[in-house]
Amino acid sequence: MFRFLFILFIVVPIIEIMVLMNVGAWLGAWPTIAIVIITAWLGAKNVKQQGIATLNSVQTKMAQGEMPSDEIVAGVLLLVAGVFLVTPGFVTDFFGLSLLVPQVRKALIKSVQGHLVNSKSSAGFTYQSDIHNHQAGGGNQSPFQDLSQGIKGSLKGSLKDKEEKPRDHHQGETLEGEFERKE
């Protein structure tokens, strides 16, 4: 992480300054400044348009009950592109503009998702619920009932001085249901 931050905050600005000085010496100061401002403005405009399109795609997939994982990664890449484009300089503008190309973004999305899948499988964690075990064993006790009893007991001492009002809602009721994962 230290190497990444070092490159981000030390090496990239030094490269940007060198490139700006060379382009400024070649074109002149005012054309260089104009190019940097125009690329920032055009880039921000494109990021906004593509970001809105990505947001609409996310909403459409969620309405259909699908997980919009590609669109979420694309949104993050568009955010990074916007930061690159607003940062003054030609090197960051190049990277920002390259992230606005859909084919480049798709390739990066596939590599990011491949990396996430590999890191998930190497982590090797699983989730198991004890709720079914309690129901299968015939017990009606919730796995959190001992905890809730302990909290209720500790709160009773602090509420003795206060007047308890009758509650409108039912305590202790559990709503049960089924869910189905769609992939």
Q: Residue 181 domain-assigned?
A: no
Domain count, the chain: 1
Asked whether 68 and 61 are in contact (CB, 8 A), the reply is yes
Q: Residue 175 domain-assigned?
A: no
Q: What is the tens place of the pLDDT at every residue in 111-134?
A: 877 777 665 555 554 444 444 444
Q: Residue 166 domain-assigned?
A: no
Q: Residue 107 domain-assigned?
A: yes
Domain that holds residue 45: 33-117
Q: What is the tens place of the pLDDT at every residue in 47-78?
A: 889 889 888 988 888 888 888 888 888 888 88
In angstroms, rounded to a whole number, what is the distance separating the alpha carbons of residues 36 and 42? 10
The pTM of the whole model exceeds 0.75: no
Q: Is 109 helix (H, G, I), strand (E, B) or coil?
A: helix
